[in-house]
Structure 1
Amino acid sequence: MKDILRELQSLSLKLQRREMTLVDSSVHIKQTINVLTAMKTTGGRSTKKAEQGVSSGFFKDVELTEGRGKINKPRFYESVVATLTKRLPESSLVQTLKALDKRFWPGEQEDLTLYGEQEVHRLAKSLGEPAGEAVGQGFSAVNNTDNQSRNRLREESLSSLLFVDLNGPPLDKFDPVPFVKSWIKAGHRLSSSWKPGRQREEVEPRHLWSILT
């Protein structure tokens, strides 16, 4: 059905985004499953138009004739939802990462006190690092990055800087040339091509003979 194909196409395009994370992909998959489950009884836009055409005997000015068989709509939707759930299950890693996402944090302050502690320990253990050491490195990186001179960093910028700080190679092994070339190729300006402050207007000098004539 067209409604199902439309939802699956939308999900596919979202999952192909470059900035898509595991948690975001899980959220979009769950939303698609919920939408298809709701459509099982109510149907989508295209289904409703088709049903109106069947009742009137015409669809887009074309006369309809009786077909050989009909699709069991509820069973068809159930089959698609079951297949989607089976092929794209929510892994234990996604469940662990949700504890680090503010969207899933509890609303009450008292519930936040120890929220996510087990997930952080589990994640640190899976990475092969002691939990205390991993948390200590994280807090140290936050203090070094989000200091008084950079206290207006947005959450996305701070997250990106922390990721580089915690997971990036040491400076003596980092080769910036490919990234600089990619930055320039994308159309960004060179740091030397821009001068701060108000620019003086260039005035073409006039020769003395042009004034006397």
Structure 2
Amino acid sequence: MTVSRQEEVRRTNINIFLKAEGAGDHPPPNYPPSHDSPEKNGVIAKLKGDFPNVKSIHCLAHRLELAVHDSLKSVSGCNHFEMFISKLYSLFHQSHKTARLLQEAANDLNIEILKIGQVFTIRWVASSFNTVRAVWKSFSALAKHFKTESGDQSHSDSVRKKYTGLLKYLTNASFLCDLACMKDVLRELQSLSLKLQRRDTTLVDSHRYIQQTIEILTAMKMQGGKSTAKAQQSILAGLFKGVSVIGERTGKINSPQFYQAVVDNLTARLPSDDLVQFLRPLEKSSWPQKREELVLFGETEVHKMAKILGEPTREAIKDFREFKLQGTQEGETLKRLLIASKTYLATDCERGFSAVNDMDRKSRNRLRAKSLSSLLFVDINGPPLEIFDPTPFVTSWVNAGHRLSTSWVTGRKTQGSQRKPLWSIF
């Protein structure tokens, strides 16, 4: 693609976006986030060339991921936990037989096996929590499977020793403490991640969610979480989910240090306080309750925003007063300010990448680009199946001259009618 063609496509996309959002000539000052922000060729640099007032914010959901990874690097013992979970993932995903034997062990114990994935990879932190929860719930099944395989004489000595080592590490009280600590922390971070990924989450909401999570983790640093308390009780009893646990009562991961590392990294990656305070008056939840305090509340910020975006400041103040004091609908000027205050995350892009991986898999590798694009459009933008009505599309397909899939019999025609005289012999 030539440079002129790239510029044409870029300008077309900007115009389409502005028209769809009703933002006139002003894009949202927080649009768009970028995983990386090259100084000259990045998305932000290109937009700032056209709109100097654009404010760039790194995707908050990715800020959370970076905070978690920085915390893991700064606390010793986390690497041992990651290595063991990776061994479990490799063990049960490289061999269908091993996965089947684990399922049989779970069936004997009447428990449900959850999928054991990887932890702290390029996936969202919610995926790491699902993996840790799967190991927690499948603890007894894993122990039974490892014990059975370690005593199976049909295996070689090296295989039996591998299962013996896995069983010893799994049933160590130290690992149980680490597992409980990770489960408590990741549960809170999963909740935060899902909130940040919601399309209706604003920058002010994100700041509030992150601040609330920091307060919760700070309290849990001193008191511990539910899973940690349950693990400590089980270690004192010497039994967890019917499995004997032995060894040290403290984990290899320093729990208070890990909690503090997560809190510090989240605090360091909070959105700018100045920008949050700038946008806060547009959020009804931040308005004061007393009317005398509400009368002039937020007018300074609205005036500044309107001036930055080139909107008539007096019209903006007038619309804002009627909106907050009279409860009327937003005026046209205020509506443009509200649109411009939106924050756009990169999670939709990530959902698109996941949809591509689901569509363009090995069993469907002959899809053409046009067909793949159409499937992705329906998958990303289409309604849920429970409210989708396929009747108009099926009717138009049939009316176009196409045949139903059940209108003919596939395969070779039977020769039964020709061989009927021979059947009397049998």
Aligning the two structures, in what range does the TM-score lie when normalised by the shorter sequence?
Answer: 0.5 to 0.7
Residue 70 of structure 1, CA deviation? 3.7
* Equivalent residue, structure 2, for 1:128: 310
1:42 maps onto 2:208 in alignment: no
CA distance in structure 2 between the partners assigned to 1:116 and 1:61 by the alignment: 59
Query: 1:32-62 CA distances to partner (integer Å, 9 max, x unpaired)?
Result: 1111111111211111111112222222222
Residue 75 of structure 1, CA deviation? 2.0
What number of residue pairs does the alignment pair up? 160
Flag the 1:72–1:97 CA change in 2: closer, same or farther, 3 A. same
Q: Which moved more, 1:87-96 or 1:48-57?
A: 87-96
1:18 maps onto 2:184 in alignment: no
- What pairs with 1:202-213 in structure 2 (closer than 5 Å)? none
1:71 maps onto 2:253 in alignment: yes
- What pairs with 1:1-213 in structure 2 (closer than 5 Å)? 1-67=182-248, 70-136=252-318, 138=319, 158=329, 166=336, 186=383
Residue 140 of structure 1, CA deviation? 11
Residue 139 of structure 1, CA deviation? 6.2
Query: 1:62-103 CA distances to partner (integer Å, 9 max, x unpaired)?
Result: 222224854332222111011111123344222122122222
State the secondary structure of the residue aligned to 2:279: helix
State the secondary structure of the residue aligned to 1:66: coil
Instruction: Please tell me whether the aligned partners of residues 7 and 32 of structure 1 are also in contact (alpha carbons under 8 angstroms).
Output: yes
Instruction: Please tell me whether the aligned partners of residues 3 and 47 of structure 1 are also in contact (alpha carbons under 8 angstroms).
Output: yes
| One-letter amino acid of the counterpart of residue 74, structure 1 | P
How high is the sequence identity, in percent, across the aligned residues?
51
| One-letter amino acid of the counterpart of residue 120, structure 1 | V
| One-letter amino acid of the counterpart of residue 299, structure 2 | E
Unaligned runs of 5+ in 2: 1-181, 340-377, 390-426
Residue 165 of structure 1, CA deviation? 6.0
CA distance in structure 2 between the partners assigned to 1:140 and 1:82 by the alignment: 39
Instruction: Please tell me whether the aligned partners of residues 23 and 98 of structure 1 are also in contact (alpha carbons under 8 angstroms).
Output: yes
Instruction: Please tell me whether the aligned partners of residues 316 and 334 of structure 2 are also in contact (alpha carbons under 8 angstroms).
Output: no
CA distance in structure 1 between the partners assigned to 2:228 and 2:333 by the alignment: 46
| One-letter amino acid of the counterpart of residue 61, structure 1 | G
CA distance in structure 1 between the partners assigned to 2:292 and 2:335 by the alignment: 31
Structure with more relative contact order (C-alpha pairs < 8 Å, separation 6 or more):
2
Flag the 1:106–1:134 CA change in 2: closer, same or farther, 3 A. closer
Query: 1:163-208 CA distances to partner (integer Å, 9 max, x unpaired)?
Result: 896479xxxxxxxxxxxxx9xx64699xxxxxxxxxxxxxxxxxxx
| One-letter amino acid of the counterpart of residue 29, structure 1 | I
CA distance in structure 2 between the partners assigned to 1:79 and 1:59 by the alignment: 29
CA distance in structure 2 between the partners assigned to 1:126 and 1:63 by the alignment: 66
CA distance in structure 1 between the partners assigned to 2:307 and 2:281 by the alignment: 15
Flag the 1:163–1:139 CA change in 2: closer, same or farther, 3 A. closer
TM-score by length of 2: 0.33
Flag the 1:140–1:58 CA change in 2: closer, same or farther, 3 A. closer
Instruction: Please tell me whether the aligned partners of residues 299 and 317 of structure 2 are also in contact (alpha carbons under 8 angstroms).
Output: no
State the secondary structure of the residue aligned to 1:89: coil
